[in-house]
Amino acid sequence: MNAMRQPSPGGPGDAKPAAAPAQGKPDSAGAKKGGPSAGNPARPKRSRRSRTASEWQGKAYTLICVAILIVTIFSMVFFVASKGLATFFTNGVSVSEFLTGIKWSPDGEPPSFGALPFITGSFATSILAACIAAPLSFCAAVFMTELMPKFGKRFMQPVIELLAGIPSVVYGFVGLSVVVPFLRSIFPGQGLGIAAGAIVLSIMILPTITSIATDSLSNLPRGLKEGSYALGATRWQTISRSILPAVLPSMLTGVVLGIARAFGEALAVQMVIGNSPHIPRSLFESASTLTSVITLSMGNTVKDTVQNNVLWSLALVLLVMTFVFVGIVRLLERRARR
């Protein structure tokens, strides 16, 4: 999940300007050393040996870092999978009961482990959050790149990116103190529920979707816009008929990344959703997500018991869903390139 969170502010574009000067420096330093004596501006006069040595050093360092990363990722997946699968192999809980059961009472007599309420809760909150956040983000991106680029770049973009830096417990507390009483006063029910969770999440994923949409809009070839103006189209016609269709696939990438981020968010959602292990009958009734049940119960259960293992199974479901989201993003990117 963390890897997913990272690209949101600035995105992969950030890496390039940082890397460029680093590459440039050794070159210029080498040119200075070799330059005056040889009078040859092209390549520095370094012995072949030291060059291969430094090549080798760099390669080794990179390899070590990559190896650490790969080992970390694989051991995490292995750890979650081995614990999560123990529920089914060691404790004998049936997979179909786990995925489709609607009764969750791990401490009951007899215990039952139906995770469907959490799976539906997770999907409902994150997709609803994306439905709220996507139009807002698209409009913000269009505003920042097409309508008022100067004001947008200087003022709005930093403000929206600021949203990404607010800790999730703050979102949760604001949700509990503002959104929940507000919903309670308007709609029937206690205010806690999927609607409250989705509203809080939609603000949290706003920066992810907005920055990806802004990037894709500003990367559009200028000819597209100018061609449209040349045909006599108005500004709005240009935006709606030629710009938006062109960036739609990359915008969808942003939406899926936003959903993935919402899917994995735990604390803020847990504070406002009510955490009842049932499929709610309305958006304003207490519900649960995969993450909220894990954070609520993980500390209270004892390692290697079925109550603990089943929480790891829920984590495994989360992990698998994240892989699915990454897969969708890959597909969309391939389509966008075509």
Partner 1 sequence: MKKTMLVLMTMVLALTLAACGSKANDNGTNNAAGGSELSGSILAAGSTAMQPLVEQVSKKFMADSKYSSITVQVQGGGSGTGLTQVSEGQADIGNSDIFAGEKFKDADAAKAQELVDHQVAVVAMATVVNKEVGIDNLTKQQLVDIFTGKITNWKDAGGKDEKIVIVNRPSSSGTRKTFEKYALGTASEDLPGNIQEDSSGTVKKLVGETPGAIGYLALSYLDDSVKTIKLDGVDATADNVKSGSYPVWAYEHMYTKGEPNEIVKAFIDYMLSDDVQKTDITDLGYISIHEMQVKRDEAGNITK
Residues that bind partner 1 (CB under 8 A): 22, 25-26, 29, 54, 57-58, 61, 64, 104-109, 176, 181, 184, 189-192, 271, 274-278, 280-281, 285-286, 293, 296-305, 307-308
Nearer to partner 1, 29 or 147 (CB): 29
Nearer to partner 1, 194 or 209 (CB): 194
Nearer to partner 1, 202 or 270 (CB): 270
What is the maximal distance between C-alpha atoms in the chain? Answer: 87
Nearer to partner 1, 181 or 227 (CB): 181
Asked if residues 150 and 243 have their Cβ atoms less than 8 Å apart, the reply is: no
Rounded to the nearest 10°, the torsion over CA 209, 212, 214, 220 is -140
Distance CA 133, CA 16 (A): 28
Cβ contacts of 310 within 8 Å, gap of 6 or more:
87, 91, 93, 98, 106, 113, 115
In the complex, the smallest distance separating the C-beta of residue 161 from partner 1, rounded to whole angstroms, is 27
Local structure of residue 106 (DSSP, 8 states): T
In the complex, the smallest distance separating the C-beta of residue 162 from partner 1, rounded to whole angstroms, is 26
Tokens standing for 25?
């420096």
In the complex, the smallest distance separating the C-beta of residue 136 from partner 1, rounded to whole angstroms, is 28
| Closest of 248, 244, 294 to residue 269, by C-alpha | 294
Classify residue 137 as left (phi > 0), alpha (psi -120 to 50) or beta: alpha
Nearer to partner 1, 281 or 338 (CB): 281
In the complex, the smallest distance separating the C-beta of residue 59 from partner 1, rounded to whole angstroms, is 12
For residue 40, with 0-12 CB atoms within 10 Å meaning exposed, 13-18 middle and 19 or more buried, which class applies? exposed
In the complex, the smallest distance separating the C-beta of residue 81 from partner 1, rounded to whole angstroms, is 20
In the complex, the smallest distance separating the C-beta of residue 274 from partner 1, rounded to whole angstroms, is 5
Tokens standing for 62?
């990179």
Nearer to partner 1, 24 or 158 (CB): 24
Distance CA 118, CA 122 (A): 6
